[in-house]
Amino acid sequence: MKMTGKILAIIAFSISLAGCAEQAQTPVCQPLSVKSKFLTNADGDTVVLRGVSYGWSNWWSQYYNKESVCWLKDDWHCTVVRAAMGVEPRRGYLNEAEESVKLVEAIIEGAIKSGIYVIVDWHSHGIHTDEAKQFFGSMAKKYADCPNIIWEIFNEPVFQSWDAVRDYSIQVIDTIRTHSPNVILVGSPHWDQDIHLVAKKPITDRENIMYTMHFYAATHNDTLRNRCDSALMSGIPLFISESACCEANGSGVIDLDEWNTWTNWCETNKISWVTWSISSKEETCSMLLPSASKTGNWQPTDLRESGTLTRDKIRELNN
């Protein structure tokens, strides 16, 4: 019996060590919060996240897997990825909710495994309050204790007024807060361009929220930056949850000078940014060529020019 006890103790100790080793190999994200206009970690230090967004989940589902997330962390040095869950289009959440959630959860699990942050993006252009509350309520409950997640509750309002977006956002924020204290990203009107409207009437009685702005370097320039500067002066916390080096339609030319101006502006103002997109669509902002595998291990010959530029920039700044 004594020998059996020793053996059992050794086995139990070995299992414990194995578990600790596995835990030690998995980086752990600190909880994030919003202090003044900055994203901060548990020590109160300002955090700047840099990474990429997956393309619409309903069209580019093949890349929605843990392996591709791990590749983006290890090879591209991303500290954040964005799961852009399509809502309205065919195969989006409104008509294929279960499959849409599975795709998002694959990215979440990849981010947890890799020890990076993940933006759960309600990738919609319209207001669907009940459906959004159902989705975010369920996800926030399931991942209530997961510090990796940032909730993005409205990708790009297009025709809605700020009052309408604001009212919708408050309802969804309150749904999430039932379970999760994590940072929430709130969209602004007109493709996330009208941040000046937000500055005039921000959401003042909810914590840990930031407002999204999107830029496409070959279309947006000083006019939008000046608008953002004014919002920042008003104390509005900004997060760039989508951007690209090309034109706003996703195609056209690459404006490298403006791209560098924008990324330098982000660094100066300590603003996190995410670039669009991990997909193999025939367009400038799509970063992959059809030769790219579904699970990462992408070679230079698998990347479009925008993919190479994005990878190089993230590796440089996340060094």
pLDDT tens track for 150-188: 999 999 999 999 999 999 999 999 999 999 999 999 999
**How far apart (Å, rounded) are the C-alpha atoms in residues 262 and 222?**
9
CATH assignment, 39-317: 3.20.20.80
Average pLDDT over the chain reads 92
What pLDDT was estimated at residue 120?
Answer: 99
**pLDDT at position 80 over 60:** yes
Average pLDDT over residues 266-292: 98
**pLDDT at position 16 over 90:** no
- What band does 27 get if pLDDT is binned at 50, 70 and 90? low
Whether the model pTM is above 0.95: no
Residue 277, preceding peptide bond in cis (omega within 30° of 0): yes
**pLDDT at position 104 over 60:** yes
How large a percentage of the chain has pLDDT more than 70?
Answer: 92
Domain residue spans in the chain? 39-317
Average pLDDT over residues 48-59: 98
**How far apart (Å, rounded) are the C-alpha atoms in residues 11 and 193?**
59
What pLDDT was estimated at residue 22?
Answer: 35
What pLDDT was estimated at residue 12?
Answer: 35
Which residues are tagged catalytic? Answer: 156, 242
What pLDDT was estimated at residue 15?
Answer: 31
**How far apart (Å, rounded) are the C-alpha atoms in residues 318 and 274?**
13
Letter for the amino acid at 227?
R
What pLDDT was estimated at residue 268?
Answer: 98
What pLDDT was estimated at residue 24?
Answer: 35
DSSP β-ladder status, 209-216 and 238-244: parallel
How large a percentage of the chain has pLDDT more than 90?
Answer: 91
- What band does 11 get if pLDDT is binned at 50, 70 and 90? very low
**pLDDT at position 112 over 80:** yes
**How far apart (Å, rounded) are the C-alpha atoms in residues 253 and 8?**
66
- CA angle (311 as vertex; 193, 151 as ends), nearest 5: 45
- Note whether 263 and 48 are within 8 A (CB): no
What pLDDT was estimated at residue 319?
Answer: 82
What pLDDT was estimated at residue 28?
Answer: 73
